[in-house]
Each structure stands twice: as structure tokens, then as C-alpha cells.
Chain A
């Protein structure tokens, strides 16, 4: 231990193990930036992959009536599985890696995304579909140029819920050593370092709120015809 008298005054909040400590922000700056970047990467990759998996599943559930309850039931049941158990159960397949966390988070995101994509597509009025077919739209053009754009507001709302949940859940990935800001929270617990725990926790909530706002704005920009409606 360094005697307190020998330490500059500015560092005292670290010695006092204060919850709020500006000194921590400057001295561990690169560590914090790395954790935020890792957290962001895990979240974005998980939600993007989740959306790419959810779309064909939703289309399948729409096309084949009999599969609808199966697809919805399976994706909804996933939320029952506690994250710590899910990450552990993936371990034999993907090991102590970031992949384990991403696969787990993709599975959780499906709970929300499959349902919202399906709801969005089913909300497209039948007259709109008829009109597009009458104008000579092929099935794929109908999907990409008419149905998905009209489903976008609902899909974006699902993406927002999935993203915010994913940011929070990423922290549990620390059990396999890839929890982004969760790694700092866990380290702070083991070393009894309050500033590290509080800073990482606040950054995590802030990240969720910022991503939510980004998606909200992006959604508004992508659906200009609804601007000012809701």
C-alpha cells in the first residue's frame, strides 16, 4: 500500500473506494473504451444476426399455417431459459468464446423479433397486396418493396426492445469471459472496486438508451410517410 500522504490529492477517490471517481475515468480510460466497444460489437452482431434469422422464420410461419404455432412457441419458450444456464449449455459447442455469448443472445432476440416481424407482415392490408399484384409485382418484389416497408414501423419497435434487452443481457456473458462492460462489473466485484462497478453499470444503461434512441430516429427516417403520425 502507498501511504496516503504520498499520493496526489486527485487520486484520493480511488483510495477511498468512492462510488463516483473522475480519476478512475482518466486512469482507466482505454480499458473502459475497450469494454464499451466489445459490448457494442456483441450487441450489434447479435441483433443483426437475430433479425436475419427471424425474417425467414416469420416468413415460414406465415406461409405454412401448421408451423405457425411451432415457430412462435419455440421462439417464445426461449425466454424462459435463464441466461446463465443458456450460456453454460452452449459451452460444449462453442467454448469459452464470444461466439457462445452471441449465439445465446441471438436465441433470446428471436423471442421478440420473430413475433414482431410476423405481426408487422400480417398488418399489411390485403387491398395493398391486391393492388401490388395487380400492378404486376412478383412475390419477391411484393415482399421487399411493399410488405416489408409497410411492416417496418412494427419491426423497428421489435428491434428496439430486442436491442435494449440484449445490451443488458450481454453483461452475463462475463461467465464465459466475454461480457463487455459486464467483465468490468465482475472484476469490480472481485476486487471490491466501487467506481469500476458503478461506472460500467451506468455506461451499460446509457448504451442501451443511446441505441434505443438511434433506432427510434432511424425508424422515423426510414418511414417518411409516417412522419408526424406516431
Chain B
């Protein structure tokens, strides 16, 4: 995978992920895709698409509806020489496989004193907005971020989706990729060929002076949209796309807060005990705390399962208007 990235063209987020897998399957015989309906069906969200036609059923493996067993197969295969990319049909279904992810994949290297590595990539279609209600719409990434041994990324753009997937494959340890389902059809520039987006490095998406918005996944797009509106109202928001929630890029966040003195965390997962709490505590425990001009504000998901009714569903997670309102209050002083 040493092809130099050159020309830039536009792809959807799903196409970018597929291109990353296509490159990996073509370059490395050890790479296999394992998941439910990822073959002839092309994946529930058409991410694997027609890869099975190109690489065959031995490389793009449809598995039985056995999330726990399938995840364990991926762990065992990764420990013994393959480079599996495991797709959960919905991130919610990972609840059936937590044993293998949390007790095995994350810990086996440590428990065995470094004698093995688990170079495993898992993909999790996550988030709400599809009308699929409470068991197909969750944002559980913080659960995984709480487990030493795992790395957890949340690409927000097609370019990062491809680059982080290829970086995950290069990584010797288990990397969990949370893909917001509403991002799959979003389009953006994606370099040709293989390139790596660094795991553990946030991206400064918009520079600003008045406040820092730290956002994850689809909230990055919403924050950028909000920032444009805010700019018209005289509020200059800086937007950081966290990209990786484990390990967190501390310095990019702290540096921004030192500059703006105001922090707004925006994420779709349930607000309590989530990534916003971690970012807030990180700032509170650091010298950046001295630079704060106002209390930190978190915008997260409501304290309820994702509801079915479309109005309720929208109300359950931060929307652009919420970010504008939150940022405006925050920029105006102590909230």
C-alpha cells in the first residue's frame, strides 16, 4: 500500500469505504471481509457493494446471523495471520458480541504479556435518523472507548472514512470504526490510491476565535453548518473533528481551548457519561482550564432510547439549530 495519493475526485462516504476495502483486498491476500449479508446483498447499507464479485466468497464472507461467534472468528483469525474486516450490520448488534470484543480482542495481548497481537478491524454502522427506532439507531462508541486495548475512530468525511479504514488495517491492534449511517450518502473529495489518515489525530475543520466546538461523526457536519450561520451573526466558531475517541488527541483540543476560552462539545450519543464528559474533564484537569471564560457546554443525545416518531427522533439528538443556540449562548458570556 505505498501508492502515492494524487488526483482528487468526489466519492460518497460508502464508496470511499468500499474503495479502501477494494485496495486492501487487492494488495493483501490476508485481508478478508466477514459480515452479515455483505456478499451478494452488498451489505445492509451497500458499503461492500459488489466486492464479492471481484474477490469471491472466500474473501468476502457472508456469515450466519451469529454476531458473537462471528466476532470471535474474526478475533481468532486476526491472532493467527489474517487481517479481517468485520462488519456489524448495525452497531446495535455489537451488544451481542461484547464478550469477544471486550474480553478477548481488547485484552488478549495484555493477558498474554505481549505474545500476540489482534490486528482486527470492525465496522459499526451507527446513529439515528433512519426511522429504525431504538434497537437500530444507537451511538455506542463511548462503550468501546472505555476499554483499554481497543482504538475507536469516527470518520466524519469520505476522505477520512477511506484513510482511517486503511490506517486501521495497518494498525496491529483492534480498531473499531463507527460510521454514522446518515453519512454514507454524503459526498466529498477523496484522494485516489492508498493513503493513511492517522489514528489518534483530530482535524481542525474550521478556524475561529470565539469558541471551540469539539464534535464527532455527523455532528462535525452539523457543527460546520452551524458555524456558517454563526459567522453571519458575528460568532467565529472553531470546529474540531475529534476523529478518534480512543486515543483522544488531547493537544489539538487543549490548544484550541487556550485560544478561544470557550468549549462546546457536540455528540449524538446519550449525553451522560459520554465523550463530552471526557473532553470536559480533560480540559478541566489541564492548564487550558485557566483559559476558560465560561463553563463548558455539552450537547448530547436525550436520556431516552431513540424514538420512532420522526419529530421525536430529531429531538433526541443535537440538530444544527441546537448547536447555533448553544454556541450563541456560550459566546455571549457565562451561561
The judgment on whether A and B are partners is no
